[in-house]
Structure 1
Amino acid sequence: MDKTQLTFYLLDAPMGAGKTTAIIKRVKTTNKKFLIVTPYLTEIERLCTNAGCITPAGNESKQKELLTLAKTQKNICITHSLFSQLTLETLKALEGYSLIIDEEVSTIEVLNYPEGFSKPDIGDLISAGYLSLNKDTQRLYTTKDKKCAGVLSPLYDCLSLLMVTNDIYMSGETYICCKKRTIWKFFSDITICSYRLPYSLLSAYCSLNNIATIYQHIENGEIVEGFSDIKPTNLQRLVLYTPQKLNCSCSLHWYQTHTEDIKTLVSSFNKWRERHIPAEYRKGYFWTTFKAYKEAVAKTTKKITAKKFVSCTAKATNAYSGCHVVGVFMQRFLNVPIKQFLSAQGIKVNEEEYALSELLQFVWRSNIRTEDTAPVYVFIGSKDLYARLNAWIAS
């Protein structure tokens, strides 16, 4: 393993604390060239307008446009999606840039197969000698002296490209992609901004790859060093509810084994919304569940709509700040194959704290992030998660 020193600066501050504003100030007042990575195109517009960044226009391949922009040595802003696709050529062009990532990007994830392919196809590539699997590390490699042809070539080409910036490991019955440690060394310094990062997958990734971390926080609008365990503002505006007569964890396993209870869960949400929420706020709602069960939830009744569904991974967006009602029909734990992969390396993630962090990020997409004084009503299907949030607020 590469043992050269590598450090991440982790800007840990609550939602609405002014992280993006502080980033803009840093870019405008620091004599460096910056690559800023943010989840959404709307945030790119904000950064381009206020921090003087440029971004690929999308007139051709954004990867090619980014390569051209990097050669200008100007400040650049791109999405998480484009960052995940960076090639070695583009990374070399970005060498020396100061990297700022707003909300953590995917560093460890389950392999996403090209359409029409699955795990047995990788086994076929190994059997044919196009790929090899290290028995000690369980890491997948391409065989350099062979070029794959035939029906498996799209999978081979996809994996070959992926392995330029990712290590792929076999973990149990699953293949796990892990960002190569070496990709970060192209940047002069790396800052990653989010909240409750000690409980994040990024923190586990740092432990896995021997990456040092220096915590920062926001103080009087400035980025200063040190970890500050503070809560977001407006907590007093939250009105929380969980159905007392329905005992469900709202985990993925619960959905798989309690399909008959989904209707009862959604019905409880609708009754609560109709009976306890003022009419002026009732229609301004959004809800979430596991993507695989989005349709199952939406089909239970006409009183909620799939148009109001928001992905549980939504972060760093103000698009739903007009909504005063939030329905949380899930409890998001760490992906099981990823948990098993980390556990095999001796790394544990506090799953209860992880689930709480994901809940907070989702709730803070609502009106709670504004200066409004009206209540924000949150329905939490899981009693455990409801209790955990209440305890955290009171602590």
Structure 2
Amino acid sequence: MEKVKVIDAICGAGKTSYAIQMMNENTFGKKFIFVTPFLSEIKRVISATNLNMTTPIAARGKGKKLDHLKKLLADGRSIAITHQLFKMMDHEAHELIQQNDYTLIMDEVAEVIEVFPIASQDIDVLINGGHIRIEDDSSVTWLSDYNAEEKYALFANVKNAANLGILMAFGEDKLQMVSLLPVSAFNSFQEVYILTYLFDGQLQKYYYDFFNLQYNKYSVIKSEEKYMIVNYNNRYDQREKLKELITIYEDYSTKGRPSTLNTNYYSRITKAHKYLLSHSWYENAHSEKHKQLQKNLISFFRTQAKTTNNKLFWTTYKSKAKRLSNAKCKFNKYDDREKDNFVPCTIRATNDYAHCTAMAYMVNRFLNPVEKQFFLSHDIHVDEDLLALSELIQFMFRGSIRNGEKMACYIPSERQRDLLKKYLDYLL
């Protein structure tokens, strides 16, 4: 039986609706775990299903949410949880899932890899001291019998991660470490459905390749008021409709002078512009560049899109948002969404901004270099352009195009604009 199905369909195609329909048509008594990024979506899914589905709670004085999850698993209940709780599940939870033949439905991809915070010199200390061994598959084995928490508190997290089987080390001249989500998080399920878009550009795809976890891709369509999955075909995206709904700001000339909103950061005779607005660019750019970018944001929303503050949304790297925030583009460091219109650049699966008719995407996304090198070290191809495009599309679909309404788009990175244009013409 095919274990993993990736339903790869454009935002709004009906992926979640198909999943709810599948659960409601459950004639074989299957048990489901539905995983979503947001608590609000948990409530919606529970209310839309007829499975007597529930969600774990952390009762005061009665244990953690993970403990309640395990009890629900032992009882064979269908459950809806967040990505965060899915990530926290341990070996005991995975065993309960396997024993009870659960089916996983994951709305959007999981956070499957993280850079492990340790210096290469400290890795050398652990190896040379006989405390760890790096296996042929890159996994790290903890060898010492001393109590790391007491004698070497600095390395306690290394011991814990290694003993959990999630720590990987790689590199020739300079060793680095990453932690991976245990593959049992997926292998313990009888069936797995991943609801996402542009899966081939996402880290979970490379993670599956690393563990040789086989999957097939499908599109979702609606026929006679019923959703169904069919063999994947990107033409089901109907990108032509999206192309009609968006207006991408381009450079224009006024009295022979080009607009500076997209072009004031680089000389076109160099290759450096490919990386403009990347995270490293923000780290190294002079403060005057940030100030100019801030002015550009104001100018776009006042002269190009002419949008009220409650009808726009914008993003940059969260650590840099304060530098660009202004009278139009609000940023609240406490994540109070009632006081700002900033949206994280990795946002997914929310309809909270569907009323917004203008957006600004002030980033140029590349894969974290450590994560990239980990996969490349295992001969796994990484498509950074598809990753960048995937996140841009996800961000755009938070806005009014979700409702089939027009939206103005400010994307000052030439690379990101070019990727979007190729995508709209089915060239990516």
Q: Deviations over 1:61-99 (max 9, x none)?
A: 111010011112111011111111111111111111111
The one of 239, 245, 252 aligned to 1:237: 245
The one of 385, 388, 393 aligned to 1:355: 388
Report which structure shows greater RCO (CA 8 Å, sep ≥6). Answer: 1
Q: What's the CA shift for 1:272?
A: 1.6
Alignment partner of 1:212: what SS? coil
RMSD: 2.5
AA aligned to 2:35 is V
Does the 8 Å contact 2:315/2:362 carry over to 1?
yes
Q: What's the CA shift for 1:103?
A: 0.3
Structure 1 match to 2:202: 200
1:106 maps onto 2:111 in alignment: yes
1:1-395 alignment, distance < 5 Å: 7-30=3-26, 31-51=29-49, 52-59=52-59, 60-95=63-98, 96-111=101-116, 113=117, 126=127, 129=130, 131-134=131-134, 136-143=136-143, 145-150=145-150, 152-153=152-153, 155-156=155-156, 159-160=159-160, 163-164=163-164, 166-171=166-171, 172-220=174-222, 221-229=226-234, 230-231=236-237, 233-242=241-250, 243-247=261-265, 249-259=276-286, 260-279=288-307, 281=308, 283-298=310-325, 301-306=326-331, 307-371=340-404, 373=405, 375-395=406-426
State the distance in 2 between where 1:169 and 1:135 align: 9
Does the 8 Å contact 1:241/1:386 carry over to 2?
no
- Whichever of the two has the greater Rg, that structure is 2
Residue range with higher mean Cα deviation, 139-148 or 193-202? 139-148
Residue range with higher mean Cα deviation, 65-74 or 53-62? 53-62
Assess, with a 3 A threshold, how the Cα gap between structure 1 residues 94 and 135 changes in structure 2: closer, same or farther: closer
AA aligned to 2:330 is T
Q: What's the CA shift for 1:288?
A: 1.1
Question: So what's the TM-score if we normalise by structure 2?
Answer: 0.82
Q: Deviations over 1:134-185 (max 9, x none)?
A: 2644432223744324264475257525752624224445311123334422
AA aligned to 1:292 is S
Q: What's the CA shift for 1:392?
A: 2.0
Q: Deviations over 1:318-340 (max 9, x none)?
A: 11112112111101111111111
Q: What's the CA shift for 1:256?
A: 2.3
Assess, with a 3 A threshold, how the Cα gap between structure 1 residues 265 and 151 changes in structure 2: closer, same or farther: farther
Assess, with a 3 A threshold, how the Cα gap between structure 1 residues 66 and 135 changes in structure 2: closer, same or farther: closer
Assess, with a 3 A threshold, how the Cα gap between structure 1 residues 173 and 154 changes in structure 2: closer, same or farther: closer
Does the 8 Å contact 1:167/1:177 carry over to 2?
yes
State the distance in 1 between where 2:170 and 2:305 align: 49
Alignment partner of 1:250: what SS? coil
Assess, with a 3 A threshold, how the Cα gap between structure 1 residues 144 and 6 changes in structure 2: closer, same or farther: farther
State the distance in 1 between where 2:182 and 2:78 align: 24
Residue range with higher mean Cα deviation, 164-173 or 17-26? 164-173
Residue range with higher mean Cα deviation, 12-21 or 237-246? 237-246
AA aligned to 2:190 is S
AA aligned to 2:132 is S
Alignment partner of 2:417: what SS? helix
Q: Deviations over 1:28-84 (max 9, x none)?
A: 112200011111111111111112421012224111010011112111011111111
Q: Show structure 2 runs of 5+ residues with no match.
A: 251-260, 266-272, 332-339
Assess, with a 3 A threshold, how the Cα gap between structure 1 residues 57 and 135 changes in structure 2: closer, same or farther: closer
Q: Show structure 1 runs of 5+ residues with no match.
A: none
Alignment partner of 1:94: what SS? helix
Assess, with a 3 A threshold, how the Cα gap between structure 1 residues 292 and 118 changes in structure 2: closer, same or farther: farther
Does the 8 Å contact 2:139/2:165 carry over to 1?
no
Q: What's the CA shift for 1:345?
A: 1.0
Residue range with higher mean Cα deviation, 321-330 or 131-140? 131-140
State the distance in 1 between where 2:144 and 2:229 align: 47
Assess, with a 3 A threshold, how the Cα gap between structure 1 residues 163 and 284 changes in structure 2: closer, same or farther: farther
Assess, with a 3 A threshold, how the Cα gap between structure 1 residues 239 and 78 changes in structure 2: closer, same or farther: same
Assess, with a 3 A threshold, how the Cα gap between structure 1 residues 148 and 296 changes in structure 2: closer, same or farther: same
Task: Give the fraction of aligned pairs with identical amino acids, expressed as a percent.
Answer: 25
Alignment partner of 1:168: what SS? strand
Does the 8 Å contact 2:134/2:169 carry over to 1?
no
Question: So what's the TM-score if we normalise by structure 1?
Answer: 0.88
Q: What's the CA shift for 1:273?
A: 1.1
Q: Deviations over 1:270-308 (max 9, x none)?
A: 1121112245x454212111122122222xx44422132
Alignment partner of 1:150: what SS? helix
Count of residues in correspondence between the two structures: 381
